[in-house]
Amino acid sequence: MKRSTDRIIMSHAGSLHRPDDLKTLMAARKDGEPFDAALAARIKSAVAEVVKLQEDNGVDVVNDGEYTKRSWQSYARGRLGGIEYRALKSGELPSDSITAREQKYFPGYFKTPEAPGAGAALGQQGVFCTGPITYVGQAEVQRDLEYFKAALQGRNVAEGYLSALAPGTIEHWLRNDYYKTEEEFLFAVADAMHEEYKTITDAGIAIQLDDPDLPDGWQCHPELTEDEYLKYAAVRVEALNHSIRDIKPEMVRLHICWGSSHHPHTQDLPISKLFPLIFAVNADCVSFEAANPMHEWEWVAFEDYKLPAGKFIMPGVLGHNSREFVEHPELVAQRLIRYANLVGRENVIGGTDCGLQRVAHAEIQWAKFRAGAEGARIATKKLWGR
C-alpha cells in the first residue's frame, strides 16, 4: 500500500454509492449467481466510471466501489462451497448481534424501530456450514480483477485496491454444522479465502481485508470478560495471518470498525486495547474509525504507543454515519496533523470510517472526498512546509 512519502494521500474504506440502474440490476441477482451479458457490461462500465470519479474528486488510492458485489459482506457466501441456507430451527441461535452487549444498557432504545436489528428470529434464514469449506469464487475474483484493471488504464492515481472479507468476520454469519471445533472451522475458512487474497495480490492489486470482527466481536459475545475476549480475538488474528501467508505485508491493508451501525456504542472496546491485535496482523497499513463521536478522541492513544516498524495507519477523517454532513477541510487537516505529529507524517494516510455508501446521497459522498483532498493539501502544507 502506498505511503505519504512527500504529501498526505487519501483513500477510503470500501463501498461507494451506486448508479440507480446498477442497484436495480444487482438487487435481482443472488450471491454467486452468474452475471448475464447486460449486467456484466453495465458493471464493467460502472467500475470505469467510479474509478474516474474517485480520481476527479481527489482520491489517491482507489477501488472499484465494490460494484461487483451485492454487499461488502454477503458476497462471500457465493464464493464458498460447503454452505447452505435454511430456516432456523427451535433451539438454534441466530447470528451474533453486533449490539448484544449494548442492548443490556439501552433495552428501551433497542425496542424502537430506529434501532439496529438484534439478529435473526426463529423461522428466518440462517447460513450454515454443512460440509468441507472450499473456495468456488475463482471466476468471480478474476472478473473483479479484469474490470478493475481495465478501469485503472489511463487513470492518474497512486494505487488501486480491492476489498475482501476476513475469516473472522465470515464467522459472524456462518454457523458451523460440520467441523468438530470452532477453531478447525475458522481455519478452514481461512484456508479457503487464502485463494481469493492471493489471486488479487498476485495480480499486482493491493487488498483491504475487512475485519470488523476484531472490535465488534466484543459486542457479539457479552458473556465474555475482557481477558476472555482478547484471547478469543487473538485466535482470529492467527487465522487471519494464516489466510495471508506468503502474501507480502506491503500489499495488505487491514480495516477494522466497531460495527458501523447507529447505536450508542458506549460498550465499544477502546482502540488501545486492540493495539496488540491489529498490529500483529501481517499488514503494513491499518485502517480504523476515527471521525465519529465515540472514537475521534482516541488519537491520544498514540501518545503512549510506538507504532511498530514498517506499519502505517489510515485513520478515518471522513465519517460515513455523519450522513448529511460534509466535513470542513480544516477539520480534516486537524485530524490528519494530530496523527502525523504522533506517528510521523509518512506513516499517515487519510481515510474514511467505513464505506461512504452509507451517507445520504452520492453528491454528499463526492463532496466529502473533495473536502478530504483539500484537507490533505492543508495538512501537507503544514507538515512539509509547502
Residue 261: CATH number of its domain: 3.20.20.210
Q: Residue 118 pLDDT > 50, yes or no? A: no
The pLDDT of 210-221, averaged and rounded, is: 94
**Residue 363 domain flag:** yes
Alpha-carbon span 377 to 382, nearest angstrom: 9
Listed range (57-61, 113-117, 204-208, 227-231) with the worst mean pLDDT: 113-117
Q: Which long-range contacts (CB under 8 A, 24 or more apart) does 152-159 make?
A: 152/51, 152/62, 155/51, 155/52, 155/55, 155/62, 156/55, 157/51, 157/54, 157/55, 157/59, 157/60, 157/61, 157/62, 158/2, 158/9, 158/60, 158/61, 159/1, 159/2, 159/60, 159/61, 159/62, 159/206
Strands, E, within 152-264: which ranges? 159-165, 174-176, 206-210, 252-255
Alpha-carbon span 124 to 181, nearest angstrom: 25
**Residue 48 domain flag:** yes
Q: What is the predicted pLDDT for the residue at 94? A: 61
Distances (CA, A) of 109 to 95, 216, 267, 288, 330: 20, 19, 15, 27, 35
Alpha-carbon span 82 to 149, nearest angstrom: 31
Instruction: Judge contact between 57 and 80, C-beta under 8 A.
Output: no
Strands, E, within the chain: which ranges? 61-62, 80-87, 125-135, 159-165, 174-176, 206-210, 252-255, 285-288, 312-318, 351-352
Bridging pattern class, strands 80-87 and 125-135:
antiparallel
Alpha-carbon span 291 to 315, nearest angstrom: 8
Residues written for the chain: 386
> In which residue are the cell numbers 475458522 written?
186
Q: Residue 123 pLDDT > 70, yes or no? A: no
CA dihedral 211, 325, 334, 378 (to 10 degrees): 110
Q: Residue 132 pLDDT > 70, yes or no? A: yes
How many structural domains compose the chain?
1
Mean predicted lDDT score pLDDT of the chain: 94
Q: Residue 354 pLDDT > 80, yes or no? A: yes
Alpha-carbon span 163 to 296, nearest angstrom: 24
**Residue 240 domain flag:** yes
The pLDDT of 51-57, averaged and rounded, is: 99
Bridge partners (DSSP) of residue 348 are: 313
**Residue 378 domain flag:** yes
Q: What nine digits make up the cell of 274?
A: 486492540
The pLDDT of 90-115, averaged and rounded, is: 84
**Residue 286 domain flag:** yes
Listed range (66-80, 221-235, 236-250) with the worst mean pLDDT: 66-80
* Amino acid sitting at position 17: H
Rounded to 5°, the CA angle 132-136-139 comes to: 175
Q: Ranked by mean pLDDT, which of 37-46, 166-175, 332-341 comes out on top?
A: 332-341
The pLDDT of 345-356, averaged and rounded, is: 98
Alpha-carbon span 237 to 217, nearest angstrom: 12
The pLDDT of 125-140, averaged and rounded, is: 94
At 136, the pLDDT band (50, 70, 90 cuts) reads very high
End-to-end Cα spacing for the chain: 24
**Residue 215 domain flag:** yes
Question: Comparing 25 with 90, which gets the higher pLDDT?
Answer: 25
At 104, the pLDDT band (50, 70, 90 cuts) reads very high
CA dihedral 260, 264, 269, 270 (to 10 degrees): 90
Alpha-carbon span 1 to 158, nearest angstrom: 9
Give the range of the structural domain holding residue 260, as residue numbers without chain letter: 20-75+138-169+179-384
DSSP letter at 5 equals S
Which tens digit of pLDDT belongs to each residue from 306-346?
A: 999 999 999 999 999 888 999 999 999 999 999 999 999 99
Q: What nine digits make up the cell of 147?
A: 474490470
At 88, the pLDDT band (50, 70, 90 cuts) reads confident
At 119, the pLDDT band (50, 70, 90 cuts) reads very low
**Residue 81 domain flag:** no
Alpha-carbon span 96 to 216, nearest angstrom: 10
Q: How far is CA 10 from the centre of its chain?
A: 16
> In which residue are the cell numbers 488474528 written?
237
Residues of the chain with pLDDT > 90, as a percent, come to: 82
The model's pTM is: 0.96
Alpha-carbon span 28 to 25, nearest angstrom: 6
Alpha-carbon span 317 to 13, nearest angstrom: 11
